Structure 1
Amino acid sequence: MTGLDRISYQSRWYHVSPVRKFWLWLAMMVLAFVLPPSGQACLLALVAALTCWLLRISLRRWCRWMALPFGFLLVGVVTILFSISHQPGALLWSVPVGSVWVGISHDGLLMANATFWRSLAALASTFWLVLNLPFPQLIVLLQRARVPRLMTEQILLTWRFIFILLEEALAIHRAQTLRFGYRRLPQGYRSFAMLVGLLLTRVMMRYQQMVTVLDIKLYQGDFHL
C-alpha cells in the first residue's frame, strides 16, 4: 500500500462509519466556503490539529504533505493578486511595464486573501477525508450513494492496478540502480526509457495473470463488492 493508504488504517476513527466521515467532511467544506477569511484560518488550524491527532502524526509531517498542493495554490493566488492597469493611481503598488502598469490593487488583494484561506481550508478538509477513509470504506460509501456498479468496479480495478504499476516500477528501478544504471545523466535517460518500455510489458503480463485467475474462479463479469 502507499504511505497515505497505510496511514488511513491507523486512524483513531478507522472504525467510524464512512457515512459519518462524509457528512463531517461536507460540513467542513460548507464552512470553508461561507466563513470569512479569519474563520477559514481558524477552521484550517482546527482541521490540521484534528488530522494530526487522529493519525498520530506530527504537525511538521502534515505540513510536508500539504506542501505540494500549496505550491499550485500559491501560483494561482499570485495570478489573482497582480493586476494590469493604464492608471497607476488605481493600484496600491505598481511597476511600469511598457505602456501599462503591473501591480497590486485593493480588490485584487482582498480577492487573493479570500481565495487563499478558502482554498487552504477546503484542501485541508479534503485531505482529512482522504487520510481517514480507507479504500474499503470508500467502496461502502459509493454503494450507499447508489453509484453505478460498473463505475465502482472500474474504481476498484484502477486502484488495484496503481499498486501493480508502482510495484513493477520500483522492482525495475531497483534492479537498474544495483547495476549503476543512473550513475550518469545520459545513462540515466537510457535507463528510464528502458524502465518505461519494460513497465508496459510487465503490467500486461500481470494483467494476463489476473485474467487467468479470474477464469479459474469462474468469473462471470461481476465482482462481489
Structure 2
Amino acid sequence: MLTLHGFDASNYVNMVKFALREKGLEFEQATLYPSQEDAVLSVSPMGKVPVLETGGVFLSETNVILEYLDETTEGPALYPADPLEKAQVKQLVKHIELYLELPARRCYPEVFFGGQVSDETKEQTREALLKGIRALARKARWQPFLAGDRLTAADVFFLYSADLAKAVAGKLFGIDLLAEAPGSAELLARLNERDSAKSVAAERDLAMEKFLKYARGGK
C-alpha cells in the first residue's frame, strides 16, 4: 500500500494526491508538516512534504514521485512514452515550478498569512511572474492541455501553482496574471472540474483552518 505523508493544505501534496486519484490508485494518508525535527528529517532529508512511502522506502520531491508512479503503476500516464515528448513535459513542469510557483511563494506570507514582505521582494516577484507566465504562453500548446491533447504532469503542476500565482498577482499588483497567457484561465477551470480536483479541493478546504493555526505557531 502506498502512503502519502503530508497535509491537505499543501499544493505540492495535492499534486501527488490528484495524480494518485487520476490513476485510480489506492493509498493511505498520514499527516506530516514540514519540520527540521529528527522524526521528519528521517523520512524527508530537507524536512519537506510530500513524501511517498512505498515498500518501506520514502520518496520526496513531487516530480520524482510523479515519475515513479508513472513507471511502476497502472492508470493514465502522466508522461509520454516518447523520450522527446517526455522531455517537453518535464520542461513545462520545471518552468511552472521555477518561474510561477517559486516566485509567487516569496509573497505567500503577506497574501495568505497576514505577514509582510519587502517592496523589493514584491517588485522582483511581479517581474518574475509576468516573465514566467508570458514564457509559458509561448511554450504551451493549449490543445487543450499544456502539452497537447491529454493531461500530463505539466497540467498537474499548473493546476496547483497557477491559482496561487494568480492570487499573489491579483492581490499585490492588481494584475490578472492568466490574462497574459490566452487559454490558461480556461485550462485552469477545466482542470478544477475534474472529479479528482474536486475531491482534493474539498479536503484542502476542510484542512485549511488547522493548517493556518499551525502556520501561525499554534498547536
After TM superposition, the score normalised by the length of structure 1 is: 0.26
Structure (1 or 2) with the greater helix fraction: 1
